[in-house]
Amino acid sequence: MSLNMKKIVMPILFVFFVLGSIFYFAPSLFFDEPLRADISLKPDDQGLVDLGKLVYKNNCASCHGVNLEGQEQWRQPDADGYMPAPPHDESGHTWHHPDEYLFLMTKYGLEEIIGQEYPNNMPAYNNLLSDQEIVAALSYIKSRWSIKVRLQHDKINTMSKEQR
């Protein structure tokens, strides 16, 4: 390599090297890291379920129903084009989702989870409830399902952990 070529090529290589290192060691500067939460619902923990019942009553019942029944006609968009709040009892699809999804969705909201704009009426509870309160509310919800559905939901959790 001629001296002139070196003067051009070396700095370019150096820049690539620096960028490559940053990319390798701090990928989060380039990509949104997928949201993760290492939590498990505990429907058999009576203390937690009692707390969750209170949290649910004060924060969720107004939309999802005092008895987890959801809003009327919840499968159809309302007049503004938004989906009504679905039930959290067995007639809804809450139990189709693993713990982690339910937690993250309650904490950060739906748009954050699916990674795209999706106007909807579900508030994010990030700044309103602690992680423990969110886990408690969801544990309370799970405690209201039949044993059969709870076991089904345990399986969904196992499968979703295996897919990681």
Q: Judged by CB under 6 A, does residue 149 bind ligand HEC?
A: no
Q: Judged by CB under 6 A, does residue 126 bind ligand HEC?
A: no
CB of 135 to ligand HEC, least distance (A): 10
Q: Does residue 10 sit in helix, strand or coil?
A: helix
Q: Judged by CB under 6 A, does residue 136 bind ligand HEC?
A: no
Residue 23 is inside which H or E element, if any?
helix 3-25
CB of 86 to ligand HEC, least distance (A): 5
State the alpha helices, DSSP H only, in 26-162: 46-59, 61-64, 99-108, 110-114, 131-143, 147-162
Question: Per-residue x/- mask for ligand HEC, residues 44 to 63, rule CB under 6 A?
Answer: ---------------xx-xx
As a whole number of angstroms, the distance between CA 13 and CA 116 comes to 37
Q: Are 35 and 104 a contacting pair, CB within 8 Å?
A: yes
Q: Judged by CB under 6 A, does residue 64 bind ligand HEC?
A: yes
Q: Which residue among 92, 100, 135, 145 contacts ligand HEC (CB under 6 A)?
A: 92
As a whole number of angstroms, the distance between CA 159 and CA 110 comes to 22
Q: Judged by CB under 6 A, does residue 143 bind ligand HEC?
A: no
Which tokens sit at 142? 């799970």
Q: Judged by CB under 6 A, does residue 139 bind ligand HEC?
A: no
Binding site for ligand HEC (CB under 6 A): 59-60, 62-64, 83-86, 92-94, 97, 102, 105-106, 110, 120-123, 125, 137-138
